[in-house]
């Protein structure tokens, strides 16, 4: 219990990194309560027949992005004063600042379709600051498609989250890469962070595993059976094709990018035993880091420093999480029991998320759940409790969310949650979907 309390404090510090500072600056609240945010539907200011559908797409995405961010308490739309709000002139702050809405912040605006262009104006008002309420005013113009309505909503949401979330960039425009068998083969797929726009990236007709996007979003490293045994394959998102990457022989898999994009760590059995190796981003300057018999897989870099690597080793029996310096020295085992796999290092370097069957063996039917551990103190907390096999956690770039795979709804599907285990949301529903990887920005 004590362990949980301590880690809760740590987690709180993670989820709200610099909110207190921000709150002093804007003078909108005190303490650790979430900011109450109201977002009335954007007012349609054009007669074009497409306006209503685009406005609905925009409003749904904006509200969902702000709700998913984990830093706001969204005021229910049923509490809002009557009357559409399309601009500052329509706002009566006293109606919003008092119950029932009792909002601290108000985001509003207008949407119009003019010829082929979609125009959105958005504002963010500090309800308590009657003298000078405007925090943000933004204008967007794109061609009039539903995709662009979604994109503009993501951008405006990210502006609000950046401004009110302690200067941490939002994730509304980030992507998730994962493996799906929907085409009959295990291929690399991509989708928006909220599960929208799911589409295949590769069409190789082989088995693809463990996709990892490069920090600059230009390439995806994954393991592929295309040339016989599993090897690292490199897909260019700019060229939409495989690009050259050397074959190391043996079973070579689970590539992981350093956060500066210059190096890749991976597992290879080229010596006859699976070990951890590091090479540069083009596959040159190969260096072996481990040399103990038994499976060694799934390396990840500490993205803050790129000076440490966490990985999974079966050298002591059932797989456990280990960490070492990125030159292979100072090896430490950090899980003490059970079956621990699939580490993911948080962007600030403080936490490892991983999948753990903590109690393993006869009489202890454990489930595989997602845990996070504070690397310095080795204190951990369990994030999933809802059954099924949960595996392959991956941190969002803001460090506030984790995407993972779970069988709790039947087959393997992708889910996301806040890094405190709340707001668990299923993102995929068809086929079998696994091994999600969150883009770096």
Selected binder of another protein within 209, 237, 242, 367 (CB under 8 A): 209
Q: Beta strand pairing status for 219-224 and 208-213?
A: antiparallel
Rounded to whole angstroms, the Cα distance separating 5 from 163 reads: 29
Q: Beta strand pairing status for 72-74 and 35-38?
A: parallel
Rounded to whole angstroms, the Cα distance separating 172 from 396 reads: 10
Site string for another protein, 97-136 (x = CB under 8 A): ----------------------------------------
Determine the interface stretch with another protein among 5-13, 151-159, 165-173, 317-325 (rule: CB under 8 A).
317-325
Tokens of 341: 């796999």
Q: Environment class of residue 122 by beta-carbon count within 10 Å: exposed (0-12), middle (13-18) or buried (19+)?
A: buried
230 binds another protein, rule: CB under 8 A: yes
298 binds another protein, rule: CB under 8 A: yes
DSSP-derived letter for residue 90 is G
Helix, strand and coil in the chain, % to nearest 5: 15, 40, 45
Q: What is the largest CA-CA distance in the chain?
A: 72
Q: State the number of CA atoms in the 13 A half-sphere of 263 facing the CB.
A: 22
Determine the interface stretch with another protein among 100-108, 151-159, 191-199, 202-210 (rule: CB under 8 A).
202-210
Site string for another protein, 368-397 (x = CB under 8 A): x----------------------xx-----
- CB closer to another protein out of 69 and 208: 208
Nearest CA among 201, 204, 205, 194 for reference residue 220: 201
Residues in the interface with another protein (CB under 8 A) total 40
Determine the interface stretch with another protein among 4-12, 167-175, 190-198, 334-342 (rule: CB under 8 A).
334-342
Determine the interface stretch with another protein among 96-104, 119-127, 159-167, 309-317 (rule: CB under 8 A).
309-317
265 binds another protein, rule: CB under 8 A: no
Find all residues with CB under 8 Å of 218, minimum gap 6, and list them.
236, 237, 238
362 binds another protein, rule: CB under 8 A: yes
Determine the interface stretch with another protein among 91-99, 156-164, 221-229, 345-353 (rule: CB under 8 A).
221-229
DSSP-derived letter for residue 433 is E
Selected binder of another protein within 151, 186, 212, 400 (CB under 8 A): 186
228 binds another protein, rule: CB under 8 A: yes
Q: To the nearest whole angstrom, how small is the minimum distance from the Cβ of residue 37 to another protein?
A: 39
* Sequential DSSP letters for 219-282: EEEEEE-TTSS-EEEEEETTTTEEE------SSEEEEEE-TTSSEEEEEE-TTSS-EEEEEETT
22 binds another protein, rule: CB under 8 A: no
Selected binder of another protein within 81, 261, 295, 411 (CB under 8 A): 295
435 binds another protein, rule: CB under 8 A: yes
User: Cis bond leading into 100, ω under 30°?
Assistant: yes
Q: Are 316 and 339 in contact (CB under 8 A)?
A: no
Tokens 């008002």 identify what position? 125
Q: To the nearest whole angstrom, how small is the minimum distance from the Cβ of residue 122 to another protein?
A: 42
Site string for another protein, 130-169 (x = CB under 8 A): ----------------------------------------
Q: To the nearest whole angstrom, how small is the minimum distance from the Cβ of residue 176 to another protein?
A: 17
- CB closer to another protein out of 175 and 186: 186
Rounded to whole angstroms, the Cα distance separating 175 from 172 reads: 8
Selected binder of another protein within 314, 328, 338, 366 (CB under 8 A): 314
Element (H, E) at 61: helix 51-68
Selected binder of another protein within 319, 347, 431, 436 (CB under 8 A): 319
Rounded to whole angstroms, the Cα distance separating 404 from 406 reads: 7
Q: To the nearest whole angstrom, how small is the minimum distance from the Cβ of residue 209 to another protein?
A: 6
Task: Provide the binding-site residues for another protein, judged by CB under 8 A.
Answer: 186, 207, 209-210, 223, 225, 228-230, 250-251, 253-254, 267, 269, 272-274, 294-298, 312, 314, 317-319, 339, 341-342, 355, 361-363, 368, 391-392, 434-435
């Amino acid at each position: 219990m004590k362990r949980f309390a301590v880690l809760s404090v740590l987690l709180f510090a993670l989820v709200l990194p610099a909110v207190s500072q921000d709150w002093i600056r804007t003078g909108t609240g005190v303490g650790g309560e979430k900011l109450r945010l109201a977002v009335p539907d954007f007012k349609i200011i054009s007669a074009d027949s497409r306006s209503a559908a685009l406005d609905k797409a925009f409003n749904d995405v904006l509200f969902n992005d702000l709700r998913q961010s984990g830093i706001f308490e969204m005021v229910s739309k049923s509490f809002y004063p009557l009357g559409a709000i399309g601009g500052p002139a329509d706002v009566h702050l006293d109606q919003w600042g008092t119950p029932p809405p009792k909002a601290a912040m108000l985001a509003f605006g207008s949407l119009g379709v003019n010829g082929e262009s979609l125009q959105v104006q958005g504002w963010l008002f500090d309800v308590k600051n009657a003298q000078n309420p405007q925090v943000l005013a933004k204008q967007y113009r794109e061609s009039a498609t539903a995709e662009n309505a979604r994109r503009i909503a993501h951008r405006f949401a990210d502006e609000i989250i950046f401004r009110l979330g302690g200067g941490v960039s939002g994730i509304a425009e980030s992507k998730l890469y994962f493996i799906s068998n929907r085409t009959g083969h295990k291929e690399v797929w991509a989708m928006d962070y909220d599960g929208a726009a799911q589409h295949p990236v590769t069409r190789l007709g082989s088995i693809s595993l463990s996709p990892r996007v490069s920090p600059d979003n230009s390439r995806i490293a994954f393991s592929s059976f295309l040339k016989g045994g599993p090897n690292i394959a490199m897909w260019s998102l700019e060229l939409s094709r495989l690009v050259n990457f050397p074959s190391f022989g043996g079973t070579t898999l689970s590539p992981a990018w350093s956060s500066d994009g210059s190096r890749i760590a991976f597992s290879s059995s080229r010596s006859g035993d699976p070990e951890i190796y590091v090479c540069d981003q083009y596959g040159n300057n190969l260096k072996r880091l481990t040399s103990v018999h038994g499976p060694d897989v799934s390396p990840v870099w500490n993205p803050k420093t790129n000076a440490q690597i966490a990985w999974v080793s079966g050298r002591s029996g059932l797989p456990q999480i280990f960490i070492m310096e990125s030159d292979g020295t100072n090896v430490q085992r950090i899980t003490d029991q059970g079956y621990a796999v699939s580490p993911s290092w948080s962007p600030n370097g403080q936490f490892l998320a991983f999948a753990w069957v903590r109690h393993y063996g006869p009489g202890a039917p454990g489930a595989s759940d997602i845990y996070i551990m504070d690397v310095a103190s080795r204190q951990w907390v369990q994030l999933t409790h809802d059954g099924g096999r949960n595996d392959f956690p991956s941190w969002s770039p803001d460090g506030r969310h984790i995407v993972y795979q779970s069988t709790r709804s039947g087959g393997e599907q992708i889910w996301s949650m806040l890094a405190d285990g709340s707001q668990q949301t299923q993102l995929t529903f068809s086929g079998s979907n696994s091994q999600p990887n969150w883009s770096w920005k």
